[in-house]
Amino acid sequence: MTQAEPTLAAPMPPSVVDFASVFAAHLKQTDREAELRPANQERLFDALSTAGITHVTVTFDGEGDSGQIESISAWAGEVAVEFPSVEIPYAAITWDNPAVEMRQLSLTDVVEQLAYDLLADTHGGWENNDGAYGEFCFDASARCIHLEFNERFTSSELFTHEF
């Protein structure tokens, strides 16, 4: 009995990636997300004010290629309060669908989403290597978001001597 050797197909040529198209698509996506952000923030600030929440603090920490929101706290003046159990509309888009999708999210979910989006916009890669940590303040009274960002890094200094 003889065994037939498998025939090998000709190798496929490596695919060529059109980086200009990839970067253009990414820029378009980023621009579309940025266009939606002001209205999302306004709806959030309106809901926080209605609930009597003056500000929200969000702490985050990351390193070694992972990062997360550590805490989200609501405040009425100097007093910590609970988030109300309400949902608000949040405009979102996905890569595979050009239409804007209106989602109903809790106030904490909207705060978390905005915090992650703003971190990606201002300090993309904040969770990599030595990472970073910090705090957002969503000031409902002033209707602004403040970020304190602390970047960690390893430093090295070279000294050479010849005697």
SS3 129: coil
User: According to the model, what pLDDT value does residue 21 have?
Assistant: 87
Interacting residues of 88 by C-beta distance below 8 A, sequence separation 6+: 43, 44, 47, 104, 105, 107, 110
pLDDT in tens, 68-127: 999 999 999 999 999 999 999 999 988 777 789 999 999 999 999 999 999 999 998 989
User: According to the model, what pLDDT value does residue 33 have?
Assistant: 86
pLDDT in tens, 9-34: 666 667 788 888 888 888 888 888 88
Q: Where are the domains of the chain?
A: 24-151
pTM equals 0.82
Please state the rounded mean pLDDT for residues 130-153. 96
Please state the rounded mean pLDDT for residues 128-151. 96
SS3 99: strand
